[in-house]
Structure 1
Amino acid sequence: MLRLFISVLLLSALGACANVDFGSPNIYQRSDVQHSGTVQHATVVRVRNITIQSSSGNSGLTSLVSAGVGAFLGSRVVGNGNGRYIAAAVGGAGSAFVAQQVSSALSRHAGLEIVVHTDTGRTLVVAQPDDQPFVPGDHVLLVSTSSGMRVTH
């Protein structure tokens, strides 16, 4: 019973963050496919590690479902009587708290803040996932599409 409880809790927390996209230069949105964008040549001026925090798109649904499952399973642990109500309350509150913490931790991802100087004289900053390495002095391309701007080699 405890294994089922933990499994449901982890699956609901993981489900909240499963489809988060942070604009990787290696991933294109469906709306960008077969549409033109613009490209500018630029030079990397500075690179800084950042943390990208996704927005909470589930509006507490994960915590609510986990609390319900925790309360149900908590009420099954202790026999009949008032003990099972206390176990249900503790199980529900505990599972909601754990789901919220797991969801929060999974919504943070490593990224880069990249400052570039374009060939036309503009200085721009782009934040994106850290799936491509950049160092000052790199000659890069600024790719601009309907879903945003990205820096790539």
Structure 2
Amino acid sequence: MRVVGTALIASVAASLALSGCETPTSATTFTPAQAQQAQVVEIGVVETVRPVTIQPGPSGVGAVSGAALGGIAAGSNIGRGSGSVAAGIGGAVLGGMAGNAVESRVTRRAGLEIGVRLESGQLISVTQDADQQFFPGDNVRVLWGANSVRVSR
């Protein structure tokens, strides 16, 4: 049982490591590719704000690391010969499922869907991390970049 706990901890650590590889959708965080790039700025007024959850799709790292650790843990501790192989396969399947679930929980984050009426009259909706508070009636800037849009004060 101690090996299974170690496998789960290692899977969590791998999933935490990949949470740093996300592309920020924040008003205050920029990727190196977004730094020193010109962005078009439009002025607008917040019309709606709705809390959402930003859930990146699975990268596979959690499932693969969990499967590897689960297979090794179960295969080395249960049975001999074909029994060990069967235990290893079962451990890999269960470890992969556990690793995928851990990755899903670790990479989930709070976000906002912000409806902004631009000065042109166009209504847009931007979803980004909830690292700033916005309220209907707030005057905001909308920054349009090559591959990103963000709302900022």
Q: Same fold (TM over 0.5)?
A: yes
TM-score, normalising length: structure 2: 0.84
Seq. identity, % = 26
Question: Partner letter of residue 12 of structure 2?
Answer: L
Change (3 A) 1:52 1:86: same
Deviation at residue 112 of structure 1 after TM alignment: 0.7
Cα distance in 2 between the residues matched to 1:103 and 1:18: 12
Task: Tell me if structure 2 keeps the 8 A contact 1:140–1:152.
Answer: yes
Q: Deviations over 1:30-60 (max 9, x none)?
A: 233223212111111111111112133x3x3
TM-score, normalising length: structure 1: 0.84
Gaps of 5+ in 2: none
Cα distance in 1 between the residues matched to 2:141 and 2:16: 34
Cα distance in 1 between the residues matched to 2:102 and 2:81: 32
97-106 vs 12-21, which moves further: 12-21
Given candidates 26, 31, 36, the residue that maps to 1:24 is: 26
Corresponding position of 2:57: 55
Cα distance in 1 between the residues matched to 2:23 and 2:117: 26
Cα distance in 2 between the residues matched to 1:4 and 1:130: 34
SS in structure 2 at match of 1:32: coil
Question: Partner letter of residue 32 of structure 2?
Answer: R
SS in structure 2 at match of 1:31: coil
Corresponding position of 1:134: 134
Change (3 A) 1:76 1:41: same
SS in structure 2 at match of 1:30: coil
Q: RMSD of the TM alignment (CA)?
A: 2.1
Matches within 5 A, 1:107-146: 107-146=107-146
Gaps of 5+ in 1: none
Q: Deviations over 1:4-28 (max 9, x none)?
A: 3232222233334331123211012
Question: Partner letter of residue 52 of structure 2?
Answer: I
Change (3 A) 1:88 1:146: same
Corresponding position of 2:35: 33
